[in-house]
Amino acid sequence: MKDEIKVGIAQIAPVWLDRQLTLEKVIRYTAQAGDEGCSLVAFGEALVPGYPFWIERTDGAKFNSKIQKDIHAHYMDQAVQIEAGHLDALCEIAAEKEVAVYLGCMDRAADRGGHSLYCALVYIDSGGEIRSVHRKLMPTYEERLTWAQGDGHGLRVHGLGPFTVGGLNCWENWMPLARTALYAQGEDLHVAVWPGGVHNTSDITRFVARESRSYVMSASGLMRRPDFPETTPYLDEILRESPEFFANGGSCIAGPDGEWIVEPCLEKERLITATINHRCVRAERQNFDPVGHYSRPDVLELKLNRKRQEAIQITESS
């Protein structure tokens, strides 16, 4: 098996709160990644249909607010329902171009009643099959006003050529046990997805690479004032005295020695690509392997519950 593969990060903005138009954009960039020979392409957190930027700009913690209820209902309408086939076209292009995809999206989970939203990281393999849907374990700060808590069901890794790839959403990447759960399953290519912001990616990308002795791809979105459609509910309130950039990107790639393969890219939509070599992983594991020769499972133990949380368990009579 060859040691090298090419990977890509699509640093793009959504057509905010428009699932269909944003997915069309994701499909275009997936096709481009495949045409350029990428084995994997990653997109930012909550990209489809977009990150909830409205909360901190519209008094999001106000209880029983009509504004919050109206925008949340709109958000829910534009969220992804995998069971309804919303990702089918993306799966088809992944199979056609033979490229795996990590996509950040809002999952309107049918198995939890269909009326709560989960920040999900979906892995589609190069055959177009959805292999995992990881729902973010702990929404961060204001996100908790619109996102529900996920579970461990999607904490899985996947074979990708000589690599084993896994991923986490945004500040989950700061959770030592979540990272370790992936390391222990053999992860040596880590995908960290973010809504966008070099303040998030500049330090942690290299730190996680050094800790894990793995390649780390930080895939960020962008968000600019023009990316808000004129049909957005309460647009004037959201944009009043707003900055030009709500999210400035910061996508980057670090090698298993913690050095930059691609330094953070700011303020531009682009497909970022790099060729990575598994031999570098094997070389760096010589002196440190966090779940191998440098672990002490007799002293320190981690348990992972991958059961999908359900609100009801139904037993049918025969």
Residues identified as active-site = 45, 136, 170
3-class SS of residue 220: strand
Hey, what are 168's tokens?
A: 């986490």
Buried b (16+ CB within 10 A) or exposed e, 221-244: bbbbeebbeeebbbeeebbeeeee
Sort residue 3 into left (φ over 0), alpha (ψ -120 to 50) or beta: alpha
Sort residue 166 into left (φ over 0), alpha (ψ -120 to 50) or beta: beta
CB 47 within 8 A of CB 105: yes
Peptide bond into 49 cis (omega under 30): yes
Hey, what are 52's tokens?
A: 């909830």
d(CA 127, CA 97): 9
3-class SS of residue 161: coil
Please say whether the dihedral angle defined by the alpha carbons of residues 32, 155, 136 and 109, taken in this order, is positive or negative: positive
Picking from 270, 168, 161, 164, the residue whose alpha carbon sits closest to that of residue 215 is 164
Q: Within the chain, where are the H helices? A: 19-35, 66-78, 88-97, 176-183, 198-212, 235-239, 278-284
Show Cβ contacts of residue 162 under 8 Å, excluding neighbours closer than 6 positions: 1, 2, 3, 5, 278
Buried b (16+ CB within 10 A) or exposed e, 80-90: bebeeebbeeb
Between helix 88-97 and helix 19-35 the angle, nearest 10°, is 10
